[in-house]
Amino acid sequence: MSVEEHRKDIETCFGTSCNFCERNCPVYRILRVKTYTCRGKNRAMLGMIDGHYDATERMADVVYTCTLCGACDVHCSMDNTDGFIELRKELVNKGLARPEYKDAVERIEETGDVYGRNIDTSRLFEDANDGEIPMYLGCQYKGNKNEVLDIIKVLAKMGIKVKIADDESCCGYIAHVLGYDDEAADIVDKFKEAFPHENFLTLCPSCTMFTQEAMALNSVHTVKHVHDLVKSGKVKLKNLDMDVTYHDPCDLGRRMGIIEEPREILRAMGVRIHEMENHGYFSMCCGAGGGMLITDPELVEDMAKQRMKQAIDTGVDILVTACPTCESTLLTGSMLARKEYKKRVKVMSIWELLDEALD
Ligand code: SF4
Ligand code: SF4
């Protein structure tokens, strides 16, 4: 697939110009500049394909100012975000990607970790090396020992004994979405070498999606696995009698359709869900996707605050989610929203609630 192969879709967009895509674009809702909408990006792409102008750094800025959340795709008949990744590849080939992205990809190639840390998972999680089910942590959880140990404890309470790899390596998702495909292929090879499993559990929605789609592996997000156990009656949960709102991580909900599963787990714990204005397939990104955390932290914070305002508007005090990146981003958003709207909404992971609901 190339940018050129998206021509038909882009021309359709040019013809309709319906603008439905801008409605829930988290970037556009902050910046209010139409160039940054999905339609704006498609326009830029068409001009480049038609040879009206060469790609420029300015164009790269527009293309990379996008969380790749897919909210535009659900308002449109086309897969626009696939085209954006193709466009990013072109920009990388032309040397126009932002230098911070190149640095990030080089860090991953050198260390197997998006943050450039050398983490020996065999030592960190030495008590979780003898389970039956392999579990891939991913870069976001790998350095968060206490949270991972808590999740392992919760899973053990349900009879799920996981096995953490000795020295896992980044799955390659970040390099792929930044447009560094050759580098992503090498990173995928290293991932497979360190983690030679076909069937395994995952904790990060993006790792799950990428290992399924790009590598055809049978990865299962652990929330889905837990849901199946809860639904079959094999796991009994206590009634927590709580009111929360649930934030759908883009890759888990919109991309993989795991929308009802976390909600059914929450309901099985006696948790009442008060939906935000945007939820399910029409959920709104926390702001951290698409590599924006690397180059646009302030815009990411604004998007996280925007999402937390929706949580505040539900009237509940707790937001629950099932993605480590959303969790940390929304935590910041919660602090910022508290300052502005004088109301605190606590951000919790679904694992914390499960811990409370299990003996
Ligand atoms: S909804 Fe689709 S066709 Fe309409 S303007 Fe947006 S990208 Fe173009
Ligand atoms: S993927 Fe998300 S951030 Fe990017 S243009 Fe579409 S709606 Fe906006």
Residue 126 predicted with pLDDT over 80 = no
Please state whether 58 falls in left (phi above 0), alpha (psi between -120 and 50) or beta. alpha
pLDDT in tens, 67-124: 999 999 999 999 999 999 999 999 999 999 999 999 999 999 999 999 998 887 766 7
Ligand nearest to the CA of 39: 1
Mean pLDDT of 258-265: 98
More confident residue, 55 or 339: 339
Ligand nearest to the CA of 45: 1
Mean pLDDT of 185-206: 96
Q: What are phi and psi of 348, to 5 degrees?
A: -130, 155
**Tokens found for residue 56:** 């420029």
| Best residue among 29, 32, 74, 81 to mutate for probing ligand 2, ranked by most atoms within 8 Å of CB | 81
* Cβ contact 218:128 at 8 Å: no
- Position 1 scores a pLDDT of 64
More confident residue, 359 or 291: 291
294 CA to middle of ligand 1, Å?
A: 27
Confirm or reject: Cβ of 72 under 6 Å from ligand 2: yes
Ligand nearest to the CA of 66: 2
* Cβ contact 141:170 at 8 Å: no
Where helices occur in the chain by DSSP H, the ranges are: 7-16, 26-31, 38-49, 57-64, 71-74, 80-93, 99-111, 121-124, 139-142, 145-157, 173-178, 181-194, 205-213, 222-232, 260-268, 292-295, 297-314, 324-341, 350-357
Confirm or reject: Cβ of 17 under 6 Å from ligand 1: yes
**First-residue to last-residue Cα distance in the chain:** 50
Ligand 2 atom 4, closest CA: 66
Kindly report the number of other CB atoms within 10 A of residue 345's CB atom: 25
190 CA to middle of ligand 2, Å?
A: 30
Confirm or reject: Cβ of 14 under 6 Å from ligand 1: no
User: In ligand 1, which atom is closest to the CA atom of 14?
Assistant: 8
Distance CA 120, CA 13 (A): 48
Ligand 2 atom 1, closest CA: 68
Distance CA 306, CA 311 (A): 9
* Cβ contact 353:230 at 8 Å: no
In this prediction, residue 312 has a pLDDT band, given cuts at 50, 70 and 90, of very high
Domains of the chain: 4-97 (no CATH), 106-226 (3.40.50), 236-357 (3.40.50.11810)
167 CA to middle of ligand 2, Å?
A: 34
Q: Mean of the per-residue pLDDT values for the chain? A: 94
- Position 332 scores a pLDDT of 98
Distance CA 286, CA 289 (A): 8
Confirm or reject: Cβ of 76 under 6 Å from ligand 2: no
Percent residues over pLDDT 70 in the chain: 98
